Structure 1
Amino acid sequence: MSGATKLRSAEKQMQEPPRAILGPAGNRVRVSEEAKRKIEVLKKSQQKPKKPVEKMSQAAVKNNLSVDSTCSSDSYSSSSSSSGRNVKRNGIKQVKDVPNGGEIKDVSSKKDGSVKRCDWITPNSDPLYMSFHDEEWGVPVHDDRKLFELLVFSQALAELSWLAILHMRDIFRKLFDQFDPSSIAQFTEKKLLSLKVNGNLLLSEPKLRAIVENAKQMLKIQQEFGSFSNYCWRFVNQKPLRNGFRYGRQVPAKTPKAELISKDLMQRGFRCVGPTVVYSFMQVAGIANDHLISCFRYQECNADVEKDFKPPKSQEIEIVTKALGNTCFSHN
C-alpha cells in the first residue's frame, strides 16, 4: 500500500465514530475511555459559552468561606491545612474560624465524649431527649402534680415516643390544666373531645377517659394517704430501687414490684395502668434508678438520694444523745 493510501485510511478511521464495545452484562454497552473523552469535548464545544464570573474579593472569600466535607480530596485537604483553615485528621474535617486580627479558634461542633450515658442516648440524640435523660429521668419525684403528669406520660407511651411527648409537653400541660387532678376530675365528655392538636385528638378516647378517671381516684388516694407521693413511695419503703444494670438489654419492661403496684391501682379504680406502664412510671419518677452503672447519672442519682435521706449533723447528735439517755435510764 502506497503512502497516500495509508494516509487516506488513517483519516477515514479518525472520522468514524468510536465503536461500542459490549460489556459482560449483555444489553448494556460500554464505550472506551478515549471515546467518552471525545464525546464530552464535543458536547462542551456545542454549548453556549457562559458569561465570565467576576472574581470575589479576598475579603468576601474570607467572610464566606465554606467547606463541603463530603466533596473534598486529599490534595485539597493538604493544601488547605497549610493555610490553617481546614485540617483533616483521621478522615474528619474540622472547620476553623479566623476572626479579624484574632487567634484561630476551633468552632467545629462535637459532642462531649468524656461523659458516659446510658446506651439509648447517642451523640446523635435529640438535645431535648438528652437533657431529659441528664436532668429528669430517674430523679426521685415527690410532688403530686408532677407524679400525675409522669403517670399520664407513661400511659401515653403506648401511642407516642418519649421524644414526641417531650416536644408536646407544653401542649399536654395546657390542655390538662397543668395536671391538676382536682381540675381534670371535672372534665366533661365535651371537654375531652376538644383536646385536639392539629385537628386530631391528643390521645385516643380510651386513654383520655382513663386520665380523667385516674384523676378522680387520685383525689381519693390523697384523702387516704395524705398525698399520692406517700402512696407511691410506700411500696419501696421511701427509698428508690437500685438495680445496677450493666447493659441496656438487661433493663426489663416490668418487674414483680410493678405488677404489685399495678394490681393495687386497678383495684382502686385506676385505668390503663398495666405493669409495663407502671414500671415506666417508676423509672421516670425515680422510684427505680435504672440508669446503667456506666452512666454518670447512676451515681449522681444515688448521691442525691443519700443526701436527701441523711439527717443534718445537729439532728444526728440529738438522735445519738437521746439514744444514750434512754440506754442509761433503762439500766438504772
Structure 2
Amino acid sequence: MPGVRSGSTSPELRRVQTVLPTASSKVASARAKLAERAKSPANSKAKGPDDQERRGKSGRGENDRLVPSARRRNSPPPLPVGLDTGRMRCSWITTNSDPLYVAFHDEEWAVPVHDDRTLFELLTLSQALAELTWPAILSKREEFREMFDGFNSASVSEFTEKKINLMRSNGSVLLSEQKIRAVVTNAKQMQKVVKEFGSFSNYCWSFVNHKPITNCFRYARQVPTKTPKAEAISRDLMRRGFQCVGPTTIYSFMQVTGIVNDHLSCCFRFKACSQHKASENNVRAESTLPDRKLSSPSSEDSDIREM
C-alpha cells in the first residue's frame, strides 16, 4: 500500500486493531448473557413440575407418578361408585340417587323375571313411566300394589266401572284415568294370553327364544329407547287388545324384566345379570308349556352387541 512502509504499523491502525476484538468480544458476551436470560425462565418453569413431582414422590414407585393437570382435565369423569360398597354402577346411578333407586338397580333391574304377577306389575310400572320417573314410582310402589290388588291380574280384570270411578275420585290416585283403564284392559287380555300360552311369561319370553338379549354398551348414550324387537312385541300386544304398550314402554319393560340386559359393561351387575339363570321351578314349568315362537329374534337382538 503506497505511503506505508512494510514492517511498520501506524498508531491509528494499531488502535483500531486493538479495539475491534475487544468490542466484538463484549457484544458476543452480551448476546450470550441475553440468550441465557431468555432461556432461564422457560427452563425453570419447565423444571418446576418435575422438581415438585420428584419432591412429592419421596421414594414412591414409578407407577405412582402424579397425572399431569392437562391429562386430568381431558380424562373422562369417573363412573358413579356406591358409597356403601365401592362398586361401579351404571352412570345413571349417582351418589345423589335415591337409595330405593340404587337398590332397584342392584337387585331387580335386568334380572330375568318369569313370574306372571311380577311381569304384570313391571308392565304396569313401565307404563307409568310416561307420567312418572322410576324414583317416584318406587317411592309409591306399595300404593300401586294396594291400588291394583297386589297386581293379581285375575282380580284386576274384574274391576267394574264403579271401582274405576272410585279410584279416579281418590285424591291420591297415582295414574291418569287412561292409564288406569289400560291396566284393567291389559289384565283382561292377560287372561286370554295365559289360556293360549300357558303363562304370560311364556308369551313374553317366546319373542327371544327364552334367552335374554345381552348388550354390551359402554356408555349410557348408546342405550336405545326402543328396538325392532320392542316394536315387534308392541305390535303383537296391541293386536291382542293391550293398551298403552308402545315400543318405548315395551323396551322399558324388557329392560326391567331382564328380557334384555342393558347394564353398562363396566357395571358390576352386567356380568351377574348375563349369567343369571331361571330358577329350577321356572325351567320345569316352562318346559311343559306350548312353545309358540311368535317371531324369531334378529341377529341384531339375539347376539351380544358391543358398541
Tell whether the structures are fold-level matches, with TM greater than 0.5.
Answer: yes
Kept in 1: contact 2:111–2:256 (CA 8 A):
yes
The DSSP-based 3-state class of the residue aligned with 2:166 is coil
In the alignment, is residue 187 of structure 1 matched against residue 164 of structure 2? no
In the alignment, is residue 286 of structure 1 matched against residue 264 of structure 2? no
1:72-116 Cα offsets, whole Å, 9 max, x none, are xxxxxxxxxxxxxxxxxxxxxxxxxxxxxxxxxxxxxx9147310
Kept in 2: contact 1:195–1:202 (CA 8 A):
no
Q: Give the structure 2 partner of residue 121 of structure 1.
A: 93
Kept in 2: contact 1:194–1:201 (CA 8 A):
no
TM-score (norm 2): 0.63
In the alignment, is residue 277 of structure 1 matched against residue 277 of structure 2? no
Q: Give the structure 2 partner of residue 132 of structure 1.
A: 104
Measure how far apart 1:307 and its partner are: 8.9
Q: Give the structure 2 partner of residue 221 of structure 1.
A: 193
Q: Aligned match of 1:296 in 255, 268, 281?
A: 268
- Structure 1 residue runs of 5 or longer lacking an equivalent are 1-109, 312-332
Q: Equivalent pairs: percent with the same residue?
A: 63
- Counterpart AA for 2:100: L
Aligned residues, how many? 201
- Structure 2 residue runs of 5 or longer lacking an equivalent are 1-81, 284-307
Q: Give the structure 1 partner of residue 240 of structure 2.
A: 268
Q: Give the structure 2 partner of residue 147 of structure 1.
A: 119
Which stretch shifts more, 284-293 or 183-192?
A: 183-192
- In structure 2, relative to structure 1, the CA distance for the partners of 1:306 and 1:272 (3 Å cut) is closer
Specify which structure has the bigger relative contact order, considering alpha-carbon pairs within 8 angstroms and separated by 6 or more residues.
2
Q: Give the structure 2 partner of residue 257 of structure 1.
A: 229
User: Superposition RMSD on alpha carbons, in Å?
Assistant: 2.0
Inter-partner Cα distance in structure 2 for 1:274 and 1:294? 30
- Counterpart AA for 1:213: T
1:203-244 Cα offsets, whole Å, 9 max, x none, are 111111111110000000000000000000000010100111
- In structure 2, relative to structure 1, the CA distance for the partners of 1:217 and 1:253 (3 Å cut) is same
- In structure 2, relative to structure 1, the CA distance for the partners of 1:265 and 1:125 (3 Å cut) is same
Inter-partner Cα distance in structure 1 for 2:279 and 2:236? 31
TM-score (norm 1): 0.58
Measure how far apart 1:189 and its partner are: 1.7
1:130-158 Cα offsets, whole Å, 9 max, x none, are 00000000000000000000000000000
Larger Rg: 2
- In structure 2, relative to structure 1, the CA distance for the partners of 1:307 and 1:217 (3 Å cut) is closer
Inter-partner Cα distance in structure 1 for 2:211 and 2:277? 8
Inter-partner Cα distance in structure 2 for 1:306 and 1:184? 27
Q: Give the structure 2 partner of residue 5 of structure 1.
A: none
Inter-partner Cα distance in structure 2 for 1:215 and 1:133? 26
Higher share of residues assigned strand:
1
Higher share of residues assigned helix:
2
